[in-house]
Structure 1
Amino acid sequence: MQFETENLEDYEIKKAVWDIIKKFDTIIIHRHVRPDPDAIGSQCGLKEMIKATFPEKTVLVEGASVDDLEYLDTMDYVEKDLYDDALVIVTDTANIKRIDGENYRMAKQWIKIDHHPLDDSYGEVEWINTEASSCSEMVADLWLTFPDEITMTSKAARLLYGGIVGDTNRFLYDGTSPYTMKVAGELMTFDFSYTDLNDKMNEIEPTTSKMMGYALEHFELSKDGIGHIILTQEILKTLGVEDSDTHPVVPFLGKIAGVKVWAVFVEQPEGTYRCRLRSKGPVINIIASNHGGGGHPLASGAHAKDMKEIEAILNELKANV
């Protein structure tokens, strides 16, 4: 099924992407470091679509394995010399420095597929759609644009559906459009249990529940609606969790009444801080870009080298509300 939602420019860039994919025998797909479900979903979902359409092609996914996302899919081992004549596709990655892996630079050609506001421009072909809820929606849209050429499978549909669910927070975020729901509905017609997948994505470990309790108790909320919490290495160690376990806290804290903008600062082993920034209205990605990060207007990431920079970020958030 093809939805009539695109203009000629949209169609032409998708046609260019698909025409290049058809030309290469070896395709290696990358995504960003510290992946979320959309990064894995778009990366591995695209792989499954290409493999189903062209079984003779070598299609691999590159990046560090992530234990808590292996219910979606796992990464391949990619030999360095495969890049020499390969096409590299990078999904869901606004900045070159956030691409997981280094050998992509050796590829014969690059394609960038992303739904974040343009930050770094890279690749011979860039398909950027900031109106899409997720990169997984974009990959599914590629299939819906060329349904007679591209084969969708149950595995690919499950991956792309999971990516959409992850980046829309189960269709709750503003980025969810009527077209997002149509795409999700089309993917749900394939043979996979979206109920089981939703349950798995909603599951938290007992240690994470302890951390969420700690976060509720120690979350600081100012009278103007700026909320934040700082999770130091000492706190993480006490709670028995790591940085990768902290992501469920971020949407959870946004449910507190009165919160307009909130930030979760997680200390890294070297003493710097990873910053997750979220908003219910004020644009925050410009602030994130001021501190080595970026992202969407209402959901971004940044970095702080010390407590002084954390204070600077909070002051910028306050001035923006």
Structure 2
Amino acid sequence: MTKLIQNKIVEAIKRYQTIIIHRHQRPDPDAVGSQCGLRDLIKNTFPQKTVLAAGSSPGSLKFLAEMDQVQDEDYADSLVIVTDTANASRIDDDRYNQADHVIKIDHHPSNPDGDYAHLTWEESSYSSCSEMIGELWLNHQDELKMNDAAARLLYAGIVGDTNRFLYNATSPQTMRIAADLMTYEFDHTEINDLMNRIGEKEALLMGYVLNNLKILESGMAYIIINQELLQELGIQDEHTQSIVSLPRRIEGVVTWAIFVQQDNGSYRCRLRSNGPVINHIAAEHDGGGHALASGANAKDQDEIDIMIDKLSKAAESFNKVYK
């Protein structure tokens, strides 16, 4: 089935003259890597086609790629491919639905709001959407021509979503695809260094988190970052990504959550786990994602307390079985 869908994707790419690629809001390295890696792969294969990456600026990920200026008229008779985006509501730039044909390529679990495409390739067994694009290329090397720029982006996307190959979603296939991409001319050490680098303000935030993280007896840990703290440190929500994996290394922590207050008073919630499945909790709070890494939203402190309680109970249940 996978190869059949891949074949249909390649045939659609061949058929359309204008191809516009979208990804999710607030992009991470895999969103930018899969989106712009696919863009550069198609442009290198079909230089006569118009191939554009749509969406807002990637902010701190500008070192990976920049977005293109996409006009309304570009969508006429176009193919849109949306990468790394489970929910229609999370697609950056809702003009995607003006295209003649929409393809979804995503490695997140199925979502009720995820049926937005004419053709969907959705498999949660992959470490990243960039790995999926890498496999698409490897299975169609006679029809899709890789180059250095595309290989660099796809490699960065894989590195980002596997946390440098540390997460358990990393498979032998992940490593094989990464190795094939590394045969192209780009500095993989530089990519790792740039993705691991933090600014002085982010370092201060990391220190605050380590000093103020609440760890419950259950093994659930959390921190709430309000607007006052963000303003005091002079940082934006996008910079809080650097603290998400910090609790993972603390002995005894099983589940954890990072709650970041938004301008409207609500909270962006990043939920993580070292064992218990937690994406169903995210789904109950306007979110979703992977079994051990999900995102959600909370309207106020009361909803945060409910999520903390659910994550704490998940940690308790896990400890009863495995500890």
Which category describes the TM-score, using the shorter chain as reference length?
over 0.9
Match of 1:94 among 78, 86, 89: 86
**Deviant stretches of 4+, over 4 Å:** none
Q: Which residue of 1 aligns with 2:23?
A: 31
What's 2:179 paired with?
A: 185
Which aligned pairs between 1:157-176 and structure 2 lie closer than 5 A? 157-176=151-170
Aligned to 2:67: 75
The amino acid of 1:131's aligned partner reads: S
Instruction: Write out aligned runs for 1:123-202 (5 A).
Output: 123-202=117-196
* 1:103-118 alignment runs, 5 A limit: 103-118=95-110
Paired with 1:91 and 1:54, the residues of 2 have a C-alpha distance of: 20
Letter in 2 for 1:240: G
CA distance in 2, matches of 1:152, 1:261: 39
Q: What's the offset of the Cα at 1:67?
A: 2.4
Q: What whole-Å deviation, never above 9, does each CA across 1:96-147 have from its counterpart, x for those lacking one?
A: 0000001111110000000000111121100011110000000010000011
In structure 1, what is the Cα distance between the partners aligned to 2:275 and 2:59? 33
Say whether residues 1:310 and 2:304 are aligned partners: yes
Partners in 1 of 2:246 and 2:220 — Cα distance? Answer: 15
Q: Does the 8 Å contact 2:287/2:296 carry over to 1?
A: yes
Question: Match for residue 295 of structure 1?
Answer: 289
Q: Which amino acid aligns with 2:145?
A: T
Question: Which of 263, 267, 277 is the aligned partner of 1:269?
Answer: 263
| Pairing partner for 1:213 from 204, 207, 217 | 207
> Aligned partners of 2:242, 2:255: CA distance in 1, in Å?
17
- C-alpha deviation, 1:291, in angstroms: 0.3
Structure 2 residue 236 is the aligned partner of structure 1 residue 250: no
1:31-71 Cα shifts (integer Å, max 9, x gaps): 00000000000000000110111110000000000221010
Identity %: 52
| Range with bigger deviation, 236-245 or 123-132 | 236-245
> Residue in 2 aligned with 1:232?
226
2:218 and 2:313 in contact (8 A); partners too = no
Partners of 1:241 and 1:230 in 2: CA distance: 15
**1:59 lines up with 2:51 in the alignment:** yes
Q: Return the letter of the residue paired with 1:35.
A: P
Q: Which 5+ residue runs of structure 1 have no aligned equivalent? A: 1-8
Residues 271-313 of structure 1 show CA distances to partners (whole Å, capped at 9, x for unaligned) of: 0000000001100100000000000000000000000000000
Q: TM-score, normalised by structure 1?
A: 0.97
| 1:224 positional shift | 1.1
- Aligned AA (1:115): H
Q: CA-atom RMSD, angstroms?
A: 0.6
Question: How far apart are 1:10 and its partner, in Å?
Answer: 1.3
Matches of 1:202 and 1:252, distance apart in 2: 13
Answering whether residue 283 of structure 2 is matched by residue 319 of structure 1, we say: no
Q: Secondary structure at the match of 2:174?
A: helix
Task: Structure 2: give runs of 5+ residues left out of the alignment.
Answer: 316-323
Output the TM-score relative to the length of structure 2: 0.96
- The letter for the 2-side match of 1:114 is D
Local SS of the residue matching 2:244:
helix
Aligned residue type for 1:192: F
| Aligned equivalents of 1:133, 1:102: Cα separation in 2 | 26
The 10-residue stretch of structure 1 (269-278 or 236-245) with the greater mean CA deviation from structure 2: 236-245
Task: Specify the SS of the correspondent of 2:180.
Answer: helix
